[in-house]
Chain A
Amino acid sequence: AQKITQTQPGMFVQEKEAVTLDCTYDTSDPSYGLFWYKQPSSGEMIFLIYQGSYDQQNATEGRYSLNFQKARKSANLVISASQLGDSAMYFCAMPGSARQLTFGSGTQLTVLP
């Protein structure tokens, strides 16, 4: 079974600065992946980025990048040049054998003007 740990219940960042949201995981699968989702106060779950365990490079999608450290079992999300619209809950998640996701407890990010 997978386990996802997000140790930061809340984070604050100044607008235009970068922020790192932590995610550590535990799995016995030799091949796995990690998702990051954004959930604004309106509730929808927005896909941000995906990293496969055998991907040679860290995933990047626009202002989002993954700092994937396999040996440390961490997959931290880095948001560069934060915007006010980035204020939301962020979830790290890992798919199981049938791709059902196990989520971390989330980090509430607040971007300050």
Chain B
Amino acid sequence: AAGVIQSPRHLIKEKRETATLKCYPIPRHDTVYWYQQGPGQDPQFLISFYEKMQSDKGSIPDRFSAQQFSDYHSELNMSSLELGDSALYFCASSLTSGPTGELFFGEGSRLTVL
């Protein structure tokens, strides 16, 4: 079965650079979530989209923005990168009208800021 696809899997950037992470949800899933997991931390919710509209916002820095496109894929844009942005970034997807238990994560994109 198709899973959530994230790219790139690994990314290395310098401070003050920008980075873009992509997420392709499971087909038919209409909701995408972004999480940030720092080293040794639990994942923290950043932002979510339902039917291409922002549905909820968590602890996302102002330097970050995200959107969901017409094909339901989503991109997380990070600007003015800081060392503390080094983390594993997860995307997850679900079908809002489906069972609550069907929420699946991608393999994550590991961002390293030097």
Binding site for B on A (CB under 8 A): 33, 35, 37, 43-47, 50, 52, 91, 95-106
A33 touches B43 (CB 8 A): no
Q: How far is the CA of A96 from the CA of B56 in the complex (A)?
A: 10
For the complex, is B110 an interface residue (Cβ under 8 Å from A)? yes
Pick the contact of B110: A37, A43, A97 (CB < 8 A). Answer: A43
| 21 sampled A-B residue pairs with Cβ under 8 A | A35-B101, A37-B105, A44-B107, A45-B43, A47-B105, A50-B100, A50-B101, A91-B42, A91-B43, A95-B100, A95-B103, A96-B56, A98-B55, A99-B48, A100-B33, A100-B45, A100-B48, A101-B45, A103-B42, A104-B42, A106-B42
Q: How far is the CA of A98 from the CA of B42 in the complex (A)?
A: 19
Instruction: Tell me whether A43 and B94 are in contact in the complex, defined as CB-CB below 8 angstroms, given that A100-B45, A105-B42 are known contacts.
Output: no
The total of interchain contacts (Cβ-Cβ below 8 angstroms) comes to 61
Binding site for A on B (CB under 8 A): 31, 33, 35, 42-45, 48, 50, 55-56, 58, 88, 90, 92, 94, 96, 100-101, 103-108, 110
By Cβ-Cβ distance, the 3 closest A-B pairs, closest first, are A50-B101, A45-B105, A103-B42
Q: How far is the CA of A102 from the CA of B56 in the complex (A)?
A: 13
Q: How far is the CA of A33 from the CA of B101 in the complex (A)?
A: 8
Closest to B90 in A: A45
Q: How far is the CA of A11 from the CA of B44 in the complex (A)?
A: 23
Q: How far is the CA of A46 from the CA of B33 in the complex (A)?
A: 15
Task: Point out the residues of chain B lying under 8 angstroms from A103, CB to CB.
Answer: 42-44
Task: Point out the residues of chain A lying under 8 angstroms from B35, CB to CB.
Answer: 101
Task: Point out the residues of chain A lying under 8 angstroms from B88, CB to CB.
Answer: 43
A44 touches B105 (CB 8 A): yes
